[in-house]
Amino acid sequence: MRRWIRGGLGLALVCLLSAFGCGSSSGKSTVAVPTFDGNRSYEDLVTQVNFGPRAPNSAAHTACLSWLKQTLGAQCSDVTDQSFTYAGKDGVTYTGDNIIAYFAGTAPAGSAKLFIGAHWDCRPVADQDPNPANHSTPIPGADDGASGVAALTEMARAFKAVPPPIPVELVAVDLEDMGNTPATTGEPYEGFCLGTRYFAANQGRFAPGQAIILDMIGYSKLSIPQEQYSMASDPALMSSIFGDAAALGYTQFVAQPGEYIIDDQKPLIDAGIPSIDLIDLNYPYWHTLADTADKCSGTSLKAVGQTLLQMIYTSTSSRGRGGK
């Protein structure tokens, strides 16, 4: 999926977090926040897994694409299929589809858009499986793929019920997980993050002011630290989200420095979009055939989804950048 380096930033970053005031209630307004249904979100996770591994160019991938369009289209009148192709090193041309559901919200025209994205494809090889015979088999992708998308679909229902106070685009990105682990060339992504890389180069009317990536957020023992490329890119947004999680009592968010992780946030950061990644990469079933729905829970999905809804509907201090 991605390359990552362990290590914290030490005292300097702790001081920076303190300066931003994690958990502060300043800059908040009183707004009715819709409820994120964790059980229904989990059902969406199971639905995706039941299609089979959604590896690119597979029948399961095609079936999931149809489901995504139908599910998001039922909540949003503005759904775009941003289709693209990728010439693989194996000589095969892969078709990818970024599905963008745009909610204009109640903000004035021209307000900065918030991108919330998750990848919906499955890794085509279980290269971390303990059984070498499984290494050429695609993973089920319950946590690694379906969990983030399940949060998007449930947030879409919330946005339909209560229009958000800011413009939000929910983006299910494709072809995220096709690269080599570890990398075999010096190319910074080497087959990873293809959907977000395509979006970053073809933003058009969807150009966001800020972005949040959701990846591997469904594990029943979820623990999300503060990813370090994210902290360098948008510490205020990260602090706002972790502060809201703490206020809501969600212990799944751990306000401690995590790793540097090359994930879908990185191409957006490289394109000049302040972006953060909410991810728990300390998942024992990562890139294995054991990444199944029974390892995930609606409780974890609700912790993430409700925290983001809280931030979106009540925060007045984390917006205002980008102006796109």
In a domain, 138, yes or no: yes
Amino acid identity of residue 127, one-letter, is D
Segment 148-166, tens digit of pLDDT:
999 999 999 999 999 999 9
In a domain, 18, yes or no: no
Q: Residue 179: what pLDDT?
A: 82
- Total domains, the chain: 1
In a domain, 217, yes or no: yes
CATH code, domain with 98:
3.40.630.10
Regions of the chain with pLDDT less than 50 = 1, 3-28, 317-324
| Range of the structural domain that residue 255 is part of | 37-314
pTM score, two decimals? 0.89
Q: What secondary structure letter does DSSP report for 133?
A: G
Q: Residue 88: what pLDDT?
A: 86
In a domain, 81, yes or no: yes
In a domain, 298, yes or no: yes
Rounded distance between C-alpha atoms, residue 299 and residue 246, angstroms? 15
In a domain, 127, yes or no: yes
Tokens 């919200």, residue?
Answer: 105
Reported as half-sphere exposure (CB side, CA atoms, 13 A), residue 103 has a value of 29
In a domain, 322, yes or no: no
In a domain, 116, yes or no: yes
Q: Residue 323: what pLDDT?
A: 36
Q: Is the dihedral of CA 271, 274, 278, 282 positive or negative?
A: positive
Peptide bond before residue 164 is cis, with ω within 30 degrees of 0: no
Segment 22-31, tens digit of pLDDT:
333 334 455 6
